[in-house]
Structure 1
Amino acid sequence: MPARNILVINCGSSSIKFALVNEAHSQFTLSGLAERLGSQDAVLHWQRGGEQDSLMLPSGDHRAALAQLLPLVQGAAGGKLHGIGHRVVHGGEQFTAACRIDAQSLQAIRATAPLAPLHNPANLQGIEAALKLFPSLTQVAVFDTAFHQSLPEHAYRYAVPEPLYREHGVRRYGFHGTSHRYVSHRAAEMSGLASGDSSWLSAHLGNGCSTCAIVDGQSRDTSMGLTPLEGLVMGTRSGDVDPNLHGHLARTLGWSLERIDTLLNKESGLLGLSGLSNDMRSLEQARDQGHVGATLAIEVFCYRLAKSLAGMSCALPQLDGLIFTGGIGENSPLVRSKTVAHLKLLGLALDKEANARCIRGVAGSIHAHGHPRILVVPTNEERQIALDTLALLNA
């Protein structure tokens, strides 16, 4: 059977990230981004091989962008597109794995929207537009939360009254599951271990950040919770704060819930601490020039990351390795070094030269000889979504 082509779509509220994945090739046949959708500045960017191009889409919405994308995809796929995989952020408790998209699954995704009001409605826009444009193709939803449905109850329950969980779904769900699953499988392959018989700590570090404890290919704990705000310091998200901070700010400053929500999700994290930027690259440059806020932001980021990884180790029967992935995890020797320095009780130590070498897509082992395994593993969520789509096509 010839190698199959899967279009992977990741819709935001005003953007579509896409990739055409061929199961036989490691590089994407076509990839790109439609951004600022719904505005006069809407634009579609794409690259195929070494060539890049753009097309303005004034006032174009998700459907208009996908309609322009269709001939590009068909051309790059040689007219042979076999399925579409959609990233969906929140699957609640209904979805423990990827699923074919039909009327029933669409309704369940809509019902989960209150748990991810910024993400699921946008994901649905992309799905509905793609269904109209590609009505005969198998389309699959792959959920960020699905991988974490294997968490035991003592890891996912909050210590709040039972009705909040039973009637309103208030529990820890976790996110970045597609990435954590992909890199843990790759780490096992790189180490000559069986994914189903190994235990990993995984740190996905980008503008959004999370840690995960993975045992025998299953998530056993993770740092994000009901929403992606819980856990680590992130680009603009605060991560963990005193739960009564909302009450304190409302009482002392008269702030509304909306104002506090904006503060914690969009004005905090690396940006809030540094007063400068949410981009780790900019902060590292500023730190080298003596910027106090940038220096503090990096120190807090790494300490809180190490603290979370140490906590995740409670879920492991043994430690076969620590994985760094995501834009920061794959490209910041400084963050890896500072984080590992806080984890001496786990016996972790870095090889300085190997750590410096693993940037810009270079994968490999970076632990010092005689110490537990530490790996840099570039994530590839698009390929994992394509693999999940292919698995359902095979079924």
Structure 2
Amino acid sequence: MAAKILAINSGSSSLKFKLYSMPEEQAIAAGQIDRIGQEKSEFTLKTATDSLKTELQFKDHLTAVRYVISQLLDRNIISDMSEISGVGHRISNGGDYYKQAVVIDDDVEQRIDEMSVLSPLHNPVNLLGIKAFKKILPNTMQVAIFDTAFNATIPAKHSLYALPYEYYEKYGIKKYGFHGPSHQYIAEQVQAIDPSKSHKVISCHLGNGASISAIKDGKTIDNSMGFTPLAGLIMGTRSGDLDPQIIPYMEQQIGLNAAEVKEILNSKSGLLGISGTSSDIRDLEEAMDEGDDRATLALQMFIHRIQSYIGSYIAELDGVDSIVFTAGIGEHDSYVRTEVIKNFSFLGIKIDNQNNDNNELIISTKDSNVQVMVIPTDEEIVIARDVYSQLNN
């Protein structure tokens, strides 16, 4: 059946959306609103024939959603709100409750709210988007698509922490892994592009938030993020892995409380914390070229952590067919890709410098033992497909 589906990604002060015509998977419109709740918000909208960029003020997510729907109507992208058959919401953490997409009802909302303790930066604002769309499109199917769902196949030997086992049984303390829609899309794309190189895939989602997945025959066997999206790689403002004893040390020696430590680890650490200047990789590379030692150190640490995870995942997979770079940094930063891969030359992995500089699909040489790829991620189409499946059910 034909359907128009909205894929939604709600942030703390942003709302990203993409409208698809299904099942042909045609993107009709896409856009976002930034700086919701601030004095000046920015709205962008793109279609195949038109684009719009304007500054307005949106006091909350409900106001933002109303404006998005009004623009779709005013520009004849849809003729009536009833044309939207389903809305898919990207949700950070579904815990062990949800291992696939699910139609949202009151119980699902309650579970999403309950899991906010594990994803405090994401689940609460994801829920704001759900409530706003339910209010404006009350008769439209709302579907939750979880970042953790694609990682539900991680085996216990990789997902459990060496804590008393009852903590897992009673409180669900385990590795959940994140960025599921992105890693799922990469796995599917590698399979479509070259099935012979799709059995053992390492997917590197490198952006302000970053994670790496080990994927075997289309299923995740490990992911660098953990119980929360704070674990794993060094990120824009997130610390990634650290010695857990650092947390009580910070509380006792510096006099910080738990909320302050959480704020530091999530919002003041990572590339920003080490460099002292920026969380943006482009700024740091520019500063490195100008001789900034701390920017250089931040980049070196970022690259080292990526190399460490790739190395361990090659061991877990017992080899690797394809290494894929995706997301903002992964798709556009040839320097990071070069630095990450060069330490794997002993495995016969070789980069084609020209293809790498041009962000081509395949950036490895023809005689490379492992295929290295750059694939732009598309989490929204994964969301739209899940919603379409639910509609057909």
TM-score of the superposed pair, with normalisation by structure 1: 0.92
Q: Deviations over 1:293-351 (max 9, x none)?
A: 22111111111101111112233144221010010000111101100112234432211
CA distance in 2, matches of 1:73, 1:199: 42
CA distance in 2, matches of 1:65, 1:173: 31
Q: What secondary structure does 1:16 align onto?
A: strand
Q: What amino acid maps onto 2:182 in structure 1?
A: S
Q: What secondary structure does 2:94 align onto?
A: coil
Q: Which residue of 2 aligns with 1:260?
A: 261
Q: Is the 8 A contact 1:152 1:220 kept in 2?
A: yes
In the TM superposition, what is the alpha-carbon distance from 1:230 to its structure 2 partner?
0.7
In the TM superposition, what is the alpha-carbon distance from 1:250 to its structure 2 partner?
2.4
Q: Is the 8 A contact 2:348 2:368 kept in 1?
A: no
1:52 equivalent in alignment to 2:62 = no
Are the structure 2 counterparts of residues 106 and 262 from structure 1 closer, same or farther at C-alpha, using a change threshold of 3 Å? closer
Instruction: Name structure 1 gaps, 5 residues minimum.
Output: none
Q: What amino acid maps onto 2:292 in structure 1?
A: H
Q: Is the 8 A contact 1:351 1:369 kept in 2?
A: no
Q: Which residue of 2 aligns with 1:122?
A: 125
Q: Is the 8 A contact 1:222 1:312 kept in 2?
A: no
Q: Which residue of 2 aligns with 1:95?
A: 98
CA distance in 1, matches of 2:366, 2:209: 28
Q: What secondary structure does 1:21 align onto?
A: strand
Q: Which residue of 2 aligns with 1:226?
A: 227
In the TM superposition, what is the alpha-carbon distance from 1:45 to its structure 2 partner?
3.2
Q: What amino acid maps onto 1:12 in structure 2?
A: G
1:371 equivalent in alignment to 2:369 = yes
In the TM superposition, what is the alpha-carbon distance from 1:62 to its structure 2 partner?
1.2
CA distance in 2, matches of 1:62, 1:350: 44
Are the structure 2 counterparts of residues 26 and 297 from structure 1 closer, same or farther at C-alpha, using a change threshold of 3 Å? farther
CA distance in 2, matches of 1:131, 1:367: 50
Q: Is the 8 A contact 2:42 2:53 kept in 1?
A: no
Instruction: Name structure 2 gaps, 5 residues minimum.
Output: none
CA distance in 2, matches of 1:154, 1:313: 16
| RMSD of aligned alpha carbons | 2.0
CA distance in 1, matches of 2:216, 2:4: 31
Q: Is the 8 A contact 1:11 1:17 kept in 2?
A: yes
Q: Deviations over 1:237-262 (max 9, x none)?
A: 11111111112222322222222222
Q: How does 1:18-97 map to 2 (within 5 A)?
A: 18-23=17-22, 28-49=27-48, 50-54=50-54, 56-58=56-58, 60-74=59-73, 75-79=76-80, 80-97=83-100
Q: Which residue of 1 aligns with 2:385?
A: 387
CA distance in 2, matches of 1:235, 1:125: 24
In the TM superposition, what is the alpha-carbon distance from 1:355 to its structure 2 partner?
0.9
Q: What amino acid maps onto 1:314 in structure 2?
A: A
How many residue pairs align between the two structures? 388
Task: Return 128-137 or 20-29, whichever deviates more.
Answer: 20-29
Q: What secondary structure does 1:38 align onto?
A: coil
1:303 equivalent in alignment to 2:301 = no
1:242 equivalent in alignment to 2:243 = yes
Are the structure 2 counterparts of residues 42 and 346 from structure 1 closer, same or farther at C-alpha, using a change threshold of 3 Å? same
Q: What secondary structure does 1:76 align onto?
A: coil
Q: Deviations over 1:122-159 (max 9, x none)?
A: 11111111112112212211000111111101111011
Identity between Structure 1 and Structure 2 (%): 37
Q: Which residue of 2 aligns with 1:12?
A: 11
1:335 equivalent in alignment to 2:336 = yes
